[in-house]
Structure 1
Amino acid sequence: MKVLAIGATGFIGPPVVRHLDEQGHQVAVFHRGETEAELPGSTRHIHGDRNNLSEFRDAFERFAPEVVLDVVPYTEAQIRQTAEAFSGLADRLVVVSSSDVYRNYDGWRGESTHPPDPVPLGEDAPLREKHYPYRGYEELDFEYADDYDKILVEKAAKSRSALPSTILRLPAVYGPGNEQHRLRAPLQRMVDERPFILLGETQAQWRWTHGYAENVAAAIALAATDEQAAGCIYNVGERETPTEAKRVQKLAEIVGWTGEVVELPNEELPDHLQAPFNWQYELATDTSRFRDELGYSEPVSWEEALEQTVAWEQMNVSGTTEDDQFDYAAEDEAVEKAL
């Protein structure tokens, strides 16, 4: 099968391309050429701006993709361009979306006061009622913050009957190379041999589905090459979603940290651990549809995924002296007051 991937040179894209290549598929990657990721030698590169796809129609026709995989469609305009560029050329469009489409995401961020939707969230769970979740957030260093909206991306993808789509709602993705360093906060404290890690009581019981990058990549590659996925929406992520406290405890097992996870009422946490989130709204998703319909299972176990991520993080964790996330004196004081 011929697969053309748009924007597959970042965090998740390269392992997707490797999975496809290992399965014997022909892959072309369309990207700006600013980041030349480590990709299989057989990968074809087409350089250009994804916001001007129509200018590269001839190159796309020469490759003649059967499936187009859009890894980074941030805006409605972008996915409409993708659909227009490949209508009549490709057989299917696979779109990488996000679990931030769900209404609980707005509740978690304090943008909604609806009763929390029950978890795990299935693909038919209520979606956000407000568009453009990051519009107006000047602190975000993100080119498309004002127009980002995966709900509109999904609607635009589904509106093209001539180009059937598959939509994949991704979880919080972690692993080597993740610039968000999702495990850094607890891991740094373990590396610094702190006797305890503080969590607010409600945060400690909160759940958000995660996915290891290699496993998420395998899921994307499967969806791209299985025709049964046409016209479907799938949640992607780990089968089980532990609480934040249990996730930290599992990390402690991997690292060999023998300290204690201490839960305090939210109002007793030091200022640097206060978070502007409503932990009543969980983001645990139900990933069983993807597993049942396409026969998916993770190639990398949870334990191995954490071990590999920890090994990478330990090579990249920085000191705490200039980082206000790690005010250990304030944390000690909070625990002393609680005793």
Structure 2
Amino acid sequence: ALHSRGANAFCLNRTGYSNDPIVPGFAVDRRDSTNVVSALERLEIDTVIDTIAYTASDTLPLFERLSGWGRRLVLLSSVDVYAAFGRLLGTELCAIDDAPLTELSPLRASRFPYSAIGGRDAEYDKIPLEEAARACAGIETTIVRLPMMFGPGDPRRRFQTVADALVNGRRLSLPRSEANWRMPLLYIDDAADGIAAACLHKQPVSHPLLLGADQHLRWAEHVTAFAAAAGKRLDLSVNSDDKPKRQNLVLNSTVTRTILDWAPQTPLVDAYSRTWMWERELLKQD
């Protein structure tokens, strides 16, 4: 996406491996912030995209080292910073509000939403990382909040159970609370193009940017459309359950779209089709 917009891109990670032949890879360990900055200077980088800021311990030392750097930091954040996401998890104890979320919607009052799970997830929270990035002196910070994403390479394999039902001719049963849930799902190519647009935008943006899809379908609608794009008939049943209604997550990204002159370009049928072909090959290997 960056190359298509005329930028030179480099992949910096611990292995130095880049999975894109036109993007050179360099071995850099983010835990050694001096090593990171040396690489940035050597490569004459003017914009850093932090794709994996996850916890304070692995992110704040790097932000502190970049302070005064005088260039642009693009922090990839998440819609899980919003209070609505906390209501979905049950960590925000207030009534459901299905109003569309914007760049300036209220954030979670609670922190570390997965602390009850333990492990590394217990330290995860994008809110303090956003705050630290904005507080860095001498850096032009851009925050991009991403929704749930899908497509080839998705480690969560959001459509795996659907593809499995299609491959094996099984019925797919969904509880009503899940089937009726509206979710913020964006195809990866469109998310990548939005990130690239944010990186190359000439003017700094004081508020976070929000990438949202054109449509926020219910999960059952996604499932049905996915099957149609695969050219398959899906035996789908929606079953009553006693779970309360889920907090919907609908994004209104009009402001971001206007600022970046960006909108999703991939027709949903193509996004589903490409994801289906990828999932089908993985299921063959399984």
Query: One fold, TM greater than 0.5?
Result: yes
Q: Matched residues in 2 for 1:28 and 1:258: separation?
A: 43
Q: CA RMSD in A?
A: 2.2
State whether structure 2 residue 190 is matched by structure 1 residue 180.
no
- How far apart are 1:109 and its partner, in Å? 1.9
- How far apart are 1:220 and its partner, in Å? 0.6
Higher mean C-alpha deviation, range 185-194 or range 234-243: 185-194
Q: Matched residues in 2 for 1:118 and 1:223: separation?
A: 27
SS in 1 for 2:31: helix
Contact 1:96 1:168 in 2 (8 A): yes
Q: Matched residues in 2 for 1:281 and 1:45: separation?
A: 41
**Closer, same or farther: CA 31–259 of 1 in aligned 2, 3 Å:** closer
- How far apart are 1:28 and its partner, in Å? 2.7
SS in 2 for 1:266: coil
Q: Map 1:98-137 onto structure 2 (within 5 A).
A: 98-137=78-117
- How far apart are 1:90 and its partner, in Å? 4.1
- How far apart are 1:206 and its partner, in Å? 0.9
Higher mean C-alpha deviation, range 243-252 or range 254-263: 254-263
Q: Matched residues in 2 for 1:179 and 1:70: separation?
A: 19
State whether structure 2 residue 235 is matched by structure 1 residue 255.
no
**Alignment-derived partner of residue 147 in structure 2:** 171
- How far apart are 1:229 and its partner, in Å? 4.6
Contact 1:133 1:149 in 2 (8 A): yes
Q: Matched residues in 1 for 2:250 and 2:284: separation?
A: 30
Contact 1:92 1:163 in 2 (8 A): yes
Q: Map 1:170-319 onto structure 2 (within 5 A).
A: 170-194=146-170, 196-267=171-242, 279-317=245-283
Contact 1:229 1:294 in 2 (8 A): no
Paired letter, 1:214:
D
Contact 2:98 2:250 in 1 (8 A): no
**Closer, same or farther: CA 29–174 of 1 in aligned 2, 3 Å:** same
- How far apart are 1:253 and its partner, in Å? 1.0
TM-score, normalised to structure 1's length? 0.77
- How far apart are 1:22 and its partner, in Å? 3.2
| Matched residues, number | 286
Match of 2:37 among 54, 57, 68: 57
Largest Rg, 1 or 2: 1
* Identical-residue share of aligned pairs (%): 26
Gaps of 5+ in 1: 1-18, 268-276, 321-339
Q: Matched residues in 2 for 1:46 and 1:88: separation?
A: 24
**Closer, same or farther: CA 281–292 of 1 in aligned 2, 3 Å:** same
Match of 1:151 among 127, 143, 163: 127
**Closer, same or farther: CA 314–229 of 1 in aligned 2, 3 Å:** farther
Q: Matched residues in 1 for 2:267 and 2:234: separation?
A: 25
Gaps of 5+ in 2: none
Paired letter, 1:83:
F
**Alignment-derived partner of residue 335 in structure 1:** none
Paired letter, 2:15:
G
Higher mean C-alpha deviation, range 48-57 or range 288-297: 48-57
Q: Matched residues in 1 for 2:234 and 2:276: separation?
A: 17
SS in 1 for 2:123: coil
Paired letter, 2:256:
F
Q: Matched residues in 2 for 1:66 and 1:278: separation?
A: 48
CA displacement, residues 269-299 of structure 1 (integer Å, 9 cap, x when unaligned): xxxxxxxx86421122222222121110223
Contact 1:176 1:312 in 2 (8 A): yes
**Closer, same or farther: CA 185–56 of 1 in aligned 2, 3 Å:** closer
SS in 1 for 2:249: coil
Higher mean C-alpha deviation, range 228-237 or range 148-157: 228-237
State whether structure 2 residue 19 is matched by structure 1 residue 38.
yes
TM-score, normalised to structure 2's length? 0.91
Q: Matched residues in 2 for 1:48 and 1:227: separation?
A: 28
- How far apart are 1:110 and its partner, in Å? 2.4
- How far apart are 1:225 and its partner, in Å? 0.5
**Alignment-derived partner of residue 28 in structure 1:** 10
- How far apart are 1:85 and its partner, in Å? 2.7
Q: Matched residues in 2 for 1:227 and 1:201: separation?
A: 46
Paired letter, 2:80:
D
Q: Matched residues in 1 for 2:220 and 2:15: separation?
A: 41
